[in-house]
Amino acid sequence: MQSTRLQGIAFFVAFLACIPLANWMVGHVGTTCVPAGPCLIPVLPSVMAPSGVLMIGLALVLRDLVQRRLGIRWVLVAIALGAALSALLAPGALVLASSAAFLLSELADFAVYTPLQRRRLVLAVFASGIVGLVIDSVVFLQLAFGSLEFLPGQIVGKAWMVIFALPVIAWVRQYESRRGMQPA
């Protein structure tokens, strides 16, 4: 179906766009910008996180939608391109942390999402997103700073995007059911 493929390509492009957008947001969007550091946003009362966490949380959901519309090969290409893009755009000191966290979290998201998505789409997106965002946060913080001090803000900020996407995912599932569509 042509519209399914076009949707998948749109999700693919949006997924890849999350990476430069996250990098830009960290330096330009926030209620507080730390000199020579990230711009921060509140994710809960008295819990701050770098603003880029919002785009990373969204990327985890978009990865699932790429797989749903285009299939496993496309999503593996998207993950590889995303990791390379992450390495290219990250500040020099954070290249390893950024690319490793992205690659490992997206592969974990893939591993959890794949077996669940055919029968329980909303649960698959939620569970894979939570696994992916925890891995992304732990790997990034540990490799970048050798500390998990900012873990709560990282997890909460990314989780908001996954949670906010769930009604859209439920709508996608209903849309597919009405049209008799099957995942790629």
Q: What digits encode the pLDDT tens for the residues 17-44? A: 998 898 889 889 999 998 877 889 999 9
Mean pLDDT, residues 60-75: 95
Sorted by where each begins, the domain ranges of the chain are: 2-179
Q: What digits encode the pLDDT tens for the residues 128-175? A: 999 999 999 999 889 988 889 889 999 999 999 999 999 999 999 999
Q: What is the pTM of this model?
A: 0.89
Q: Classify residue 71 as left (phi > 0), alpha (psi -120 to 50) or beta.
A: left
CATH, domain 2-179, list 1.10.1760, 1.10.260, 2.30.30, 1.10.3210: 1.10.1760
